[in-house]
A and B are shown apart, each in its own frame.
Chain A
Amino acid sequence: MCLEFGGVKACQDVTLKLEPGILYGLIGPNGAGKSTIFNVLTGIYAPTHGTVKLAGESLVGKKPFEIAQKGIGRTFQNIRLFKDLTVLENVMTAFYSSTHTSLYDQVFQTKAFYREEEEIRVKAMELLKVMGIEDLADVPAGGLPYGKQRKLEIARALGLEPKLLLLDEPAAGLNPAETRELTNLIRDIQRARNITVLLIEHDMGLVMKICEKIYVLVQGQLVCEGVAEVVQNDKRVIEAYLGVD
């Protein structure tokens, strides 16, 4: 997979092979192209060369919402919640593509409308419970404290029932206690739902603790991949992070 903006090669020959049910980490210095990879995976940018495949099916040329429907959920580095909607409604929007009430059902408030609304309300509440923010269900999302907003974004992404969950710096801006809690939460969710997770994170404690395999990206190129110990001892990774004498 490659992506070029004009003459700038944002990422070159990056190959990520994500096996089902494994928690991956993607690390690298600022500007390495980590978020760019997320944007290519979710269809916001089209790769200049190469392919993106989900379970053998090519995603190149698909629209972002189509890719989301196919089962790639994501969160954003700079939180993008629907601020004026309540916490519960935020999660309920994720069920848009898996529900079918028509305009007719909605206007005439048929049985199907009430059944489906109740169904997704219950499912959304369950997700809020998993994230531990169910008591804030009726609060506008914009009014939540930062850490809870991060959790809500994950809950919303889970509403898609994704096969692959992309988390872009889930612990950014959290204090150490919150980070620890979130770390365990991510691992628990990943195991309980048996989904593939790829997370970008600068908090190495978090990454080393829960990621089963780690990719290291430096200036748009993959320099190392492997389990935590391998990555920690790789010369090029140390160089990239600490510089060379």
Chain B
Amino acid sequence: MGKMNKTLLLFLGFLLGAVILNFIMGGFTFSAALLFWEKPGRFTGLISPYYYSVLILLGINIILSVSLMLLNGLTGLFTMGHAGFMAIGAYTSASVVSFLLPDAPFIVQLIAGSVSAGLAAGLIGFLIGTSCLRLAGDYLGMVTLGFGEIIRIILLNVDAVGGARGMTDIPVYMNLGSVFFLTIVIIIVIKRISFGRLGRAMLAIKENEMAANMMGINPLNIKVQAFVISSFMAGIAGSFFAHSEGYISTQTFTFSKSFEIIAMNVVGGLGSLSGAIMGAGILTVLPEALRKVQDVTGLDIRMVIYALTMVLIMILRPQGLMGNKEWKWLSSK
């Protein structure tokens, strides 16, 4: 009872925090419209729409990074097709909302979009999981890389979702409050998974699959669960992305996006939830912050500095910024 209340209280607290955050960052007219379940109104926020969209992107990247951490860091499955799950989520959600619910209130679109995106990506994750998980190590990486590309190329050739032109005029309803709220929820869900029975089983498989077998743990079952949960979350991130940009094309979901998500995990420290969040933070904010450098110097050195920073981090802290550690608020039940 007490614990259940704590979860509910936490939930309501973050919801309230999200609404307040949106009022501060997005401005009154913009946020009030959302509260009354309408589409966002005119943007009159504290920060410019550009920073506002960077913060949304940050939330999306954190979701992608922590969901990959569940596979890579906890279960030890090296996958390179996370952008594929994101693409499935983005296209499913965009189709559901713009074809079926174009005029629905914001909250209906948000729920329908996210849930359909998560379910679609989770289903594909399940199919991939059951068919490929007998593969181990690098082989699984190769297969998932191929899978990500297959998804992208299929979407590229479906005219109903725009084909090579991409999908335009997707209802833009995503706002900082919703992203903030759902990012926190997903972080907490992963944290709670990692500390319980399932998390221990995942770690056991990562550390020594043979010994996990001898403990009566069915590795295939746990791996499929990890795959489904992770792809579900990546799908949700895709949905957020589609409805914050208003435009998606297959160019976004190439394997370089998958590698970017892996890089977030590696920079932060493989196997650390805090690291996954921190890595997403750095790899989202750094390229944007470097635009200023480019403006000031007039030199196109943004990507050079970005790459150098990553190389330096890997030389100075090969185990990632957090290593195996967690921030305090993430390190206990």
Interface residues, chain A, with chain B CB atoms under 8 Å away: 42, 44, 63-66, 68-69, 73-74, 76, 80-85, 89, 92-94, 96-99, 101, 103, 105-111, 113-114, 116-117, 156-157, 159-160
CB-CB under 8 A from A99, the residues of chain B are 197
Q: How far is the CA of A73 from the CA of B215 in the complex (A)?
A: 7
Residues of B within 8 A of A97 (CB): 215-217
27 contacts between A and B (CB under 8 A): A44-B213, A65-B216, A68-B213, A68-B214, A68-B216, A69-B216, A81-B207, A81-B211, A82-B207, A82-B208, A84-B207, A85-B207, A93-B204, A96-B197, A96-B200, A96-B201, A96-B215, A103-B193, A103-B225, A105-B196, A106-B196, A107-B189, A109-B6, A111-B1, A111-B3, A114-B3, A116-B197
Does A65 contact B197, Cβ atoms closer than 8 Å?
A: no
User: How many Å lie between the Cα of A92 and that of B199 in the bound state?
Assistant: 11
User: B193, A68: Cβ atoms under 8 Å?
Assistant: no
Using A42-B214, A160-B215 as known contacts, say yes or no to A110 and B208 having CB atoms under 8 A apart: no
In chain B between 31 and 75, which residues have their CB closer than 8 angstroms to a CB of chain A? none
Which of these, B189, B196, B210, contacts A80 with CB under 8 Å?
Answer: B210
In the assembled complex, B203 has its CB within 8 A of some CB on chain A:
yes
CB atoms of B204 and A85 under 8 A apart: yes
Which residues on the A side are within 8 Å of B143 (C-beta)?
none
- 5 closest Cβ pairs, A-B complex: A97-B216, A106-B196, A68-B216, A82-B207, A80-B211
A113, B216: Cβ atoms under 8 Å? no
Nearest B residue to A74 via CB reads B214
Nearest chain-A residue to B210 (Cβ)?
A: A80
Chain B interface, number of residues (Cβ within 8 angstroms): 33
Instruction: Determine whether B328 belongs to the interface, using a CB cutoff of 8 Å to chain A.
Output: no
Q: Of residues 175 to 202 in B, which have CB atoms within 8 Å of A's CB atoms? A: 189, 192-193, 196-201
Greatest chain A CB density within 10 A among B203, B208, B211, B217 is at B211
Query: Within 8 Å CB of A157, what residues of B?
Result: 214
A213 and B7 CA atoms in complex are apart in Å by: 56
Q: How far is the CA of A56 from the CA of B217 in the complex (A)?
A: 23
Q: Is there a chain A Cβ closer than 8 Å to B282's Cβ?
A: no
What distance in Å separates the Cβ of B247 from its nearest Cβ neighbour in chain A?
Answer: 34
What are the residues of chain B within 8 A of A110 when measuring CB–CB?
3-4
Are B214 and A106 in contact (CB-based, < 8 A)? no
CA distance A63 to B271 in the complex (A): 28
A53 to B129: give the CA distance in the assembly, Å. 33
B275 close to A (CB within 8 Å) = no
CB 8 Å contact bits of B65-102 with A (1 = contact, 0 = none): 00000000000000000000000000000000000000
A99 to B197, CA, bound (A): 8
Contact A65 B200 (CB under 8 A): no
Contact A85:B214 (CB < 8 A) given known A109-B7, A114-B3: no
Contact A93 B208 (CB under 8 A): no
Distance to closest chain B CB from A149 (angstroms): 12
Q: Is B238 an interface residue (CB 8 A)?
A: no
- Could you say which residues of chain A place their CB within 8 Å of the CB of B217? 65, 93, 96-97
A103: B residues at CB distance < 8 A: 193, 198, 225, 229
- Give the one of B196, B210, B212 with max A CB within 10 A: B196
Interface pair B197/A101, CB less than 8 Å apart? yes
Residue among B1, B192, B219, B225 facing the most chain A CB atoms (10 A cut-off)? B192
Is residue B324 within 8 Å, beta carbon to beta carbon, of the partner chain?
yes
Residues of A within 8 A of B198 (CB): 103, 106
Min CB distance B137 to A, Å, is: 18
| Docked-complex contact A83 and B333, CB < 8 angstroms | no
Instruction: Find the A residue at minimum CB distance from B3.
Output: A109
Asked if B157 is at the interface (CB within 8 A of a chain A CB), the reply is no
Question: Roughly how many angstroms separate A110 CA and B196 CA in the complex, as a whole number?
Answer: 12
Residues of A contacting B203 in the complex (Cβ-Cβ under 8 angstroms): 82, 84-85, 89
Q: Is the CB of A109 within 8 A of B215?
A: no
- Given A84-B203, A103-B193, are A108 and B4 also a contact pair (CB < 8 Å)? yes
- Inter-chain contacts of B213 with A (CB < 8 A): 44, 63-65, 68
Q: Which residues of B contact A83 (CB under 8 A)?
A: 207
Chain A residues, Cβ within 8 Å of B200: 85, 89, 92-93, 96
Complex-state Cα separation, A217 to B203, whole angstroms? 37
B252 at the A interface (CB under 8 A): no
Residues in B with CB closer than 8 Å to A98 are 216
State in angstroms the CA–CA spacing of A211 and B208 once bound together: 30
Cβ of B61 to closest chain A Cβ, rounded Å: 22
Asked if residues A64 and B196 are in contact (CB atoms below 8 Å), the reply is no
Bound state CA distance, A107 and B333, in angstroms? 11
Would you call B4 and A65 a contact (CB within 8 A)?
no
- In the complex, whether B251 has a CB less than 8 A from a CB of chain A is no
- B218 in contact (CB, < 8 A): yes
A65 touches B193 (CB 8 A): no
Give, as a whole number of angstroms, the nearest-CB distance from A152 to chain B: 12
Q: Nearest Cβ distance between residue A46 and chain B, in whole angstroms?
A: 14
Residues from chain B with Cβ under 8 Å of A160 in the complex: 215-216
Bound state CA distance, A74 and B212, in angstroms? 11
Given A63-B213, A65-B215, A160-B216, 13 further pairs, Cβ under 8 A: A65-B216, A85-B200, A93-B215, A94-B215, A96-B217, A101-B197, A103-B193, A103-B198, A106-B198, A109-B6, A109-B333, A111-B3, A157-B214
A82 with B211: CB separation less than 8 A: yes
